[in-house]
Structure 1
Amino acid sequence: MEFVEVNGGRIAYEILGDTGDLIVLTPGGRFAMDIPGLRPLAEALAAGGHRVLLWDRPNCGASDVQFNGQSESHMRADTLRGLLTALDTGPVVLAGGSGGARDSMLTTIRYPDLVTRLVLWNIVGGIYGTFNLGAHYILPNLQTARTLGIDGLLRMPEWRELVALNPNNEARLRELGDDEFVKVMSRWLNAYVPKPGQTIPGVEDELFDRIRVPTLIIRGGAHDPDHPRRTSVEVSCLIEGSTLVDPPWPEDAWESAVRDRAHGRVDRFNLFDTWVLAAPTILEFLADRPRR
C-alpha cells in the first residue's frame, strides 16, 4: 500500500500487475479496498493482461477522512482525478460496482479526458435503494453530530475503525468541528432524496451525454431492490452506445448476501464474492472495444 496527497488528504492505493492498460477498480459503500471479494476480481483482471489500481476513497480504509463536494460521490470523483494526475497514469479504464459505479460515472462526466472505457455493475437507484443509502450512510452520522458532536461520532464503530486504521483521522474530524460536519452531511443527504430527472442519486440525467466512451453495463438482479434492473436499463439508455448484459452471477446474489450478513453468516457469502465472475465479461469487452 502506498499513499499520495490529494486535495489536502492522504489517499491509500495499490497497483496490481506490471503491464497493460490501467483499470481503476472501485467498490461500493464506504468499503475499503481490502473488502472481501474485490481483490479476486482485481487479480483476475491483472492476470488478463491489465494493471489494476485499488484505492481507499476518502472516509474508507487507510485514507484520510475528507468532507467536501456537492455529494460524497462528487468528492470521490474529484479525488480520483487528483490521484490519477499525481500518479501521471494517463487515461484509464474505470470499473466499479454499486457506489463505485456511481463514482466511476461521475468521474467520467466531470473528467472525460481521463477515461478510455467504463464498466458498471450493481448500479444503485429507485426509491428504496436511494433512500436506503441516505438512511445508512448519512442520517446516523447527522443525528449523532447534532446531538453529541464530534465526540459522539468518534464513539461510532464506523469512525472508530477509521481512526484505528489511520490515527490522523481523529484530529481531522476534530478540526472540522460539529457545525461544519452537520453542514456537509446535510448537503450530502440531499443527493439521496429521489428527484425527477435523476436516475442515479445526485446526478442529473442531462449530464450523461458527456459520457462518450465505450461503456459496459452489467444489469442489476431481477428483484434486487438496492440495484434495480430498471435502473441499469435506464442508465444504458442515457449512455449512448452502451452495452447492457445479463449478470454472470445468480439473479438473487445480492439479496442472498444481505440475508447471510443479517444472520451472521459472513463466512458463507460476502457482498462482493460473486464479482470475480464478471472478469471474463470485462476482459472480453476490453479486448473487443477500441480505445477512444
Structure 2
Amino acid sequence: MGEYLTVDGLRTYYEVQGSGGDPVLLLHGGGATADSWWGQLSQLAEHHRVYAPDLRGHGRTHDLPGPVSSALLAADLAALLTAVDTGPVHLVGWSAGGTVALHLALRHPELVRKVVTIGTGVCRAGGTEADRAMLAEENTGLLESLFRPQYEPLSPDGPEHFPVVFAKWLRMWREEPEIGLDALRGLAVPALVLQGDDDGVTIEHAAAMARALPDGQLAVVPGTSHAVPLEKPELVGRLLLDFFAEQQPRRLMPLGALTG
C-alpha cells in the first residue's frame, strides 16, 4: 500500500506492508525506486511493519531545488521517521541507499535499532575498478539509459526533469561515499555488511568495514553481483530476518577473522 507524507516541504511516497514486529525501513539504490524491494517486502512483512520510501527526486517523490547528498537524504528520512512515529527501525540500505543508511545511523542512532548495508562501501577506494569505470564520463549514456525508464513514468516533476536530477545523482555518486572506516567505529548499533561476491565493493573492503564496526557482521552471498537482492531475493530476505532477530547465537569458536 502506498502513502504520501509531506514533511518540511518534501512530499515523500512510501510503501507500507505488515503490521507486527519491529519496524523496518528499506532504502533503494541511486536512480532506483522502492519497487526494487519486490523480492523482500512481503517476506519481511510477515514478521515486521515494513516501510519502503522513494527518496527525494526518485520515483514518486518530487525533487527540490539545490544539490543532493547522502547526508541530505538521511535528514529527509529522519524527519519522515519522526513524523510517522515509527520508533527505532531496522535500517537497510542498498548501494547508494546504504550510504544514506550509514549517515542516518551515525547522526540519529536513536532512530535506528540495527543497520544493514548491501553493496555499499565507505570510501571510493573501496570500490572495484569496474565500479569506478561505470561512473566515468564516457559511460554517462549507459547510466542514463538504465535510469531514465524508471524515472519518467513515475516522477511528479515530469519526464523533462530527468536531466536535472540525473546531473545531481552523478555528482553525488562521483563524490561519495567519503564516510571512512574510522567513522564506523562510532556506530552505536549492530550492523551487517552484506554484498555479492562479484559486487562493486571489494570483499577486502567489506571485511574491513565489518572489522571497524563495534558490533559488525559480514555476509558475502555466492554467485551474485551488485544486484544481489534481485538475484537471490529469498536468501537475502532470510539473512535480513536472521539479523533482525532479537536473540543472536553465541559464537562458539571465534578465531579472529573479524577481529584480527
Length-normalised TM-score, structure 1: 0.69
1:169 Cα offset (Å): 4.7
Note if contact 1:139-1:189 (Cα within 8 Å) is conserved in structure 2: no
Q: How does 1:98-109 map to 2 (within 5 A)?
A: 98-109=95-106
Q: CA RMSD in A?
A: 3.4
CA deviation map 1:127-175 (0-9, x unaligned): 5365346438x966xxxxxxxxxxxx9xx8856863542343579x59x
1:202 to 2:178 alignment: yes
Task: State the match for 1:254 in structure 2.
Answer: 225
Aligned pair 1:236/2:235, yes or no? no
Distance 1:132 1:4 in 2: 37
Find the partner of 1:64 among 62, 65, 69: 62
Aligned residue in 1 for 2:256: none
Distance in 2 of aligned mates of 1:246 and 1:186: 27
For the 8 Å contact 1:15–1:53, the answer to whether it is kept is yes
Q: Contact 2:199–2:224 at 8 Å: present in 1 too?
A: no
Q: Evaluate the alpha carbon distance shift between residue 90 and residue 10 of structure 1 in structure 2; reply closer, same or farther with a 3 A threshold.
A: same
Indicate if the aligned counterparts of 2:23 and 2:49 stay in contact, CA closer than 8 A: yes
Partner of 1:81: 78
TM-score, normalising length from structure 2? Answer: 0.77
Tell me which amino acid in the other structure corresponds to 2:239: T
Count of aligned pairs between the two proteins: 241
Unmatched 5+ residue regions in structure 1? 141-152, 193-200, 258-269
Equivalent pairs: percent with the same residue?
25
Change (3 A) 1:101 1:207: same
Cα deviations by residue, 1:6-32 (Å, 9 ceiling, x for unpaired):
342211001100121110012222111
Unaligned runs of 5+ in 2: 249-260
Where is the strand percentage greater, Structure 1 or Structure 2? 2
1:262 aligns with none
Which aligned pairs between 1:72-151 and structure 2 lie closer than 5 A? 72-124=69-121, 125-128=126-129, 131-132=132-133, 134-135=135-136
Closer, same or farther in 2 for the Cα pair 1:50/1:205, shift >3 Å? same
Q: Distance in 2 between matches of 1:22 and 1:206?
A: 28
Which AA in structure 2 matches 1:254? Answer: S
Q: Which has the higher helix share?
A: 1
Q: Which amino acid aligns with 1:24?
A: L
